[in-house]
């Protein structure tokens, strides 16, 4: 009996040892696979959306300010000032102007900018950027739509939205906001934005948002002003023109709403920046006064 007991014990011990080695081998194999997978993922992450092109869409016809890109601001065309500021961004591999107007094209070539001619049928700057992207010889992962009417655009903002999109693989679009001045609260030319707790856009409006029951500006609330600059994943940019216009987009006349209405995610960063876009002829004088104050030539 004792011999049989000893033999059974030995067999059980051997079986347990074998099972332990099998489990250990499975765990070790899993750990190695996870490590390899993580290394591969990190390798892809480092290379995620690396090639970046900046595009400045510009058109001559405008209901509010015809010929706006060519208006002179302290001796230089506005489009030139925007281009010079944008060239300082470190994340851009290339920078071009996209236009449907020969006068704008000639002006831009005169100060050294690369120009892509686009059709007059483009409904907005996003569609113009897409057409320009298709005509570029090189392939890019991110396209930055730089508003030509922001002659004081800060290159750090361009870099900021590019890095935000690179860090958010679930987003196809990124943009920037800054603090809204109380006097701009009800100006329809100053687009407002609200975001969620993770920094993704909820809505954009020409009206004040959020809007409270008193119908007055709450001086304690951090209202946000949308800056026109935005960047897109290049694959999404090819999809955008094929999306049908949406009700909110048409009502507000804001192209970024078509992105949100179709369920895509948009990353938003907040920056310290005084918005000085040129929407009307009266804005030119304001810009020039500010530039004189800052000794900008």
Q: How far apart are CA 275 and CA 179, in angstroms?
A: 9
What pLDDT band is residue 129 in, cutting at 50, 70 and 90?
very high
Mean pLDDT of 1-30: 44
The answer to whether the beta carbons of residues 116 and 104 sit under 8 Å apart is no
Average pLDDT over residues 100-107: 95
Helices vs. strands in the chain: H and E counts, helices first: 9, 11
Looking at residue 200, what DSSP letter applies?
A: B
- State the Cα–Cα distance between residues 44 and 48, nearest whole angstrom: 6
Report the pLDDT value the prediction gives residue 275, as an integer from 0 to 100. Answer: 64
| Residue scoring higher pLDDT (42 or 287) | 287
And the tokens for 166? 């690179």
Q: What is the pLDDT of residue 47?
A: 61
* % pLDDT > 90, the chain: 66
The pLDDT value recorded for residue 173 is 96
Q: Give the residue from 131, 135, 133, 157 showing the smallest Cα distance to 146.
A: 157
Q: Which residue's entry shows tokens 């958010």?
A: 168
Average pLDDT over residues 181-185: 94
pLDDT score of 63: 62
Chain centroid, CA 211 distance in Å: 26
Lowest mean pLDDT across 17-26, 45-54, 173-182, 261-270: 17-26
Q: How confident is the model at residue 159 (pLDDT cuts 50, 70, 90)?
A: very high
- Give the pLDDT score at 249: 96
37 burial (CB, 10 Å; 0-12 / 13-18 / 19+) is exposed
């Amino acid at each position: 009996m004792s011999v049989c007991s000893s033999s059974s014990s030995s067999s059980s011990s051997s079986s347990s040892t074998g099972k332990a080695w099998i489990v250990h081998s499975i765990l070790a194999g899993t750990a190695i696979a996870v490590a390899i997978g993580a290394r591969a993922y990190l390798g892809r992450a480092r290379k995620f959306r690396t090639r970046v092109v900046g595009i400045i869409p510009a058109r001559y016809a405008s209901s509010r300010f015809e010929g706006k890109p060519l208006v002179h601001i302290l001796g230089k065309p506005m489009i030139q000032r925007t281009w010079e500021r944008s060239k300082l961004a470190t994340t851009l591999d290339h920078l071009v102007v996209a236009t449907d107007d020969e006068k704008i094209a000639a002006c831009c070539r005169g100060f050294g900018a690369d120009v892509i001619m686009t059709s007059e049928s483009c409904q907005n700057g996003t569609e113009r950027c897409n057409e320009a992207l298709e005509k570029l010889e090189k392939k890019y992962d991110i396209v930055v739509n730089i508003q030509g009417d922001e002659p004081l655009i800060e290159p750090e903002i361009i870099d900021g939205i590019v890095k935000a999109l690179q860090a958010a693989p679930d987003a196809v679009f990124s943009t920037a906001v800054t603090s809204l001045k109380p006097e701009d609260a009800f100006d329809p030319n100053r687009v407002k934005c609200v975001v969620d707790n993770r920094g993704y856009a909820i809505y954009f409006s020409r009206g004040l948002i959020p809007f409270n029951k008193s119908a007055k500006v709450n001086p304690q609330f951090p209202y946000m002003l949308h800056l026109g600059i935005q960047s897109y994943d290049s694959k999404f940019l090819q999809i955008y023109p094929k999306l049908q216009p949406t009700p909110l987009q048409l009502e507000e006349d804001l192209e970024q709403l078509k992105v949100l209405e179709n369920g895509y995610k948009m990353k938003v960063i907040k920056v310290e920046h005084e918005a000085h876009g040129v929407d009307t002829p009266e804005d030119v004088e304001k810009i020039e006064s500010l530039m004189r104050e800052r000794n900008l030539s």
